[in-house]
Amino acid sequence: MAAKWIELVTGSLEQKKQYREHKARVQALPANYRTAVEAIERYLMYFGSITNGEIMVTMLDDLGDLFEQAAVDGTPVRDIVGTEPVEFVETFLANYSEGQWINKERQRLIAAINGIPDAEM
pLDDT digits (tens, 9 = 90+) for 73-120: 999 999 999 999 999 998 998 888 776 667 778 788 888 989 888 765
Structural domains in the chain, CATH included, are 2-120 (1.10.1900.10)
The b-or-e profile of 15-45 (16+ CB within 10 A means b, else e) is: beebbeebeebbeebeeebbebbeebbeebe
Query: How many Cα atoms are found within 13 Å in the side-chain-facing hemisphere of 91?
Result: 8
- Segment among 18-27, 34-43, 51-60 with least mean pLDDT: 51-60
29 Rama sector, left if φ>0, alpha if ψ -120 to 50, beta otherwise: beta
pLDDT higher than 60, residue 121 = no
The 10s digit of each residue's pLDDT in 24-41 is: 999 999 999 999 999 999
pLDDT at site 46: 84
pLDDT higher than 80, residue 44 = yes
pLDDT at site 15: 84
